[in-house]
Amino acid sequence: MECGSQAAAFAALVNGMRYVVILEKGASSFGAYVPDLPGCAVVGETREEVLQLIREAVDLHVSAMWERGDALPEPASSTEYVQV
């Protein structure tokens, strides 16, 4: 498959996929991870930085899985709040 065709196939595969991202504020940094993509996690100094880093990490993670021929997990996690 030529490069343009591979890129188009990848874009079609991930089109519309939305993964839940969990953000955590630490004492001096922020962290983020994607429950449906084990190992996909980042740390940054600000919320804005960590959001940019996790977007990049998801892109790299999913691209690497696709290139290896691994099945991409369907987004399955969701969020809910509990009031106490």
For residue 41, pLDDT over 60 is answered with yes
- Res. 8 pLDDT band, cuts 50 70 90: low
For the chain, give the mean pLDDT: 88
Proportion of the chain above pLDDT 70, given as a percent = 83
pLDDT of residue 55: 94
Task: Convert 71-82 to b/e letters by CB count within 10 Å (16 or more is b).
Answer: eebeeeeeeeee
CB count, 10 Å around CB of 2?
A: 7
Domains by residue range for the chain, with CATH: 3-68 (3.30.160)
For residue 11, pLDDT over 70 is answered with no
pTM assigned to the model = 0.82
For residue 22, pLDDT over 70 is answered with yes
